[in-house]
């Protein structure tokens, strides 16, 4: 039997997320079954549970989780992975998965990517959702070597990759983070500044010239208000979190437009290769047994340590 976490009603994780048993899935045409080894957790999982991504009662019970790493155990007819021929026993990453919070995951083969041996399953499980989001931010802002880029949330899972990608383009990067994460952001190649009151002045002092692009992963009014004061063209302020501020003329991404989808799909191979080669740094903050997902989700939704949370089946 497979074990999976599902959302039984929209609300707080501890109240509505349940572990259920289900028969092991059989792969249909174009599908594979993956025995998961590690499952990536994301803020979007919490937003899904709370009904912030839609609260359609008819979709309940709702499967949870968008990404995992594991081993292929069964392959349906005509199933070809995104990264070439696939065999039982292959180590893979599944993104974008439907219902990744499980020990036995049924996936479209087109969402299956081979995992290099130098990228461990825990890091691989949490790499792609945040990685493609960061890549979409950098591509949408069209970051160039001449840019001075402000990243809001440079210590976060999305923001830390956005910092590294913008630095790799050759841009000058200033990034916000909490006081405890200033050294970490500096190690990624950005000039760190603490968010909070006085942010505008601190960014102006830290930046070597006028800020020409903003990548926002925080979405607070402070982040957007400061950005609008720094950048002449609001179209160069790109956010994945400030959904209430689109009327200010900034660009808000949720991955649904054709261009966003293209940016994200195009980034996957390089993200895997760079993480496997040690060129892209990612962090696993904590691991939890799969059955403890409600506790882990509650912690993820509040103040939590830097890095990804990962479930272990």
- Site residues for ligand NAP per CB under 6 A: 42-44, 129-130, 133, 153, 155-159, 176-178, 181, 195, 217-220, 240-241, 253-255, 306
State the Cα–Cα distance between residues 32 and 20, nearest whole angstrom: 21
Instruction: Give the shortest CB-149-to-ligand NAP separation in angstroms.
Output: 15
Specify the residue, 81 or 217, whose C-beta has the smaller distance to ligand NAP.
217
Return the closest-CA partner of residue 241 out of 229, 253, 249, 257. 253
Specify the residue, 10 or 195, whose C-beta has the smaller distance to ligand NAP.
195
Burial group, residue 270, by CB count within 10 angstroms (0-12, 13-18, 19+): middle
Specify the residue, 9 or 53, whose C-beta has the smaller distance to ligand NAP.
53
Instruction: Give the shortest CB-217-to-ligand NAP separation in angstroms.
Output: 4
State the Cα–Cα distance between residues 49 and 47, nearest whole angstrom: 5
* Cβ contact 57:89 at 8 Å: no
Instruction: Give the shortest CB-256-to-ligand NAP separation in angstroms.
Output: 9
Specify the residue, 25 or 307, whose C-beta has the smaller distance to ligand NAP.
307
State the Cα–Cα distance between residues 268 and 82, nearest whole angstrom: 10
Instruction: Give the shortest CB-166-to-ligand NAP separation in angstroms.
Output: 15
Return the closest-CA partner of residue 6 out of 22, 23, 28, 24. 22
Specify the residue, 13 or 219, whose C-beta has the smaller distance to ligand NAP.
219
Instruction: Give the shortest CB-128-to-ligand NAP separation in angstroms.
Output: 11
Instruction: Give the shortest CB-90-to-ligand NAP separation in angstroms.
Output: 27
List the structure tokens of 201.
Answer: 């002045």
Determine the residue with CB nearest ligand NAP. Answer: 156
Q: From residue 62, how far is each of 17, 20, 69, 146, 309 by CA, in Å?
A: 9, 12, 21, 45, 21
Instruction: Give the shortest CB-181-to-ligand NAP separation in angstroms.
Output: 4
E strands in 147-253:
148-152, 172-177, 191-194, 213-216, 237-239, 251-252
Specify the residue, 73 or 287, whose C-beta has the smaller distance to ligand NAP.
287
Neighbours of 78 (CB within 10 A): 10
Specify the residue, 32 or 215, whose C-beta has the smaller distance to ligand NAP.
215
At 312 the three-state DSSP class reads strand
């Amino acid at each position: 039997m497979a074990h999976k976490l599902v959302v039984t009603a929209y609300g707080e994780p501890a109240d509505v997320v349940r572990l259920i048993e289900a028969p092991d899935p059989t792969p249909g045409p174009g599908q594979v079954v993956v025995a998961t080894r590690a499952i990536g957790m994301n803020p979007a999982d919490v937003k899904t549970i709370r009904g912030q991504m839609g609260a359609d009662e008819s979709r309940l019970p709702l499967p949870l989780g968008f990404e995992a790493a594991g081993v292929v155990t069964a392959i349906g007819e005509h199933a070809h992975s995104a990264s070439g021929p696939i065999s039982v026993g292959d180590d893979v990453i599944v993104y974008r998965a439907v219902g990744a919070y499980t020990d036995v995951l049924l996936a479209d083969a087109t969402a299956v990517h081979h995992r290099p041996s130098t990228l461990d399953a825990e890091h691989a499980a949490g790499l792609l959702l945040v990685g493609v989001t960061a890549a979409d931010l950098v591509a949408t802002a069209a970051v160039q070597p001449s840019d001075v880029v402000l990243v809001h949330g440079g210590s976060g899972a999305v923001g830390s990759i956005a910092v590294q990608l913008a630095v790799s383009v050759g841009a000058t990067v200033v990034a916000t983070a909490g006081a405890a994460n200033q050294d970490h952001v500096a190690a990624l190649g950005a000039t760190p500044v603490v968010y909070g009151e006085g942010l505008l002045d601190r960014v102006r002092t830290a930046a070597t010239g006028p800020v020409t692009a903003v990548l926002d992963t925080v979405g607070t009014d402070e982040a957007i208000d400061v950005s609008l004061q720094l950048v002449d063209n609001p179209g160069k302020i790109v956010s994945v979190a400030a959904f209430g501020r689109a009327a200010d003329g900034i660009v808000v991404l949720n991955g649904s437009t054709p261009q966003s989808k293209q940016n994200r799909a195009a980034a996957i191979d390089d993200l895997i290769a760079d993480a496997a080669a040690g060129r892209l740094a990612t962090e696993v903050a904590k691991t939890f047994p799969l059955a403890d997902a409600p506790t882990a989700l509650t912690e993820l939704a509040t103040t939590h340590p830097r890095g990804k949370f990962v479930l272990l089946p």
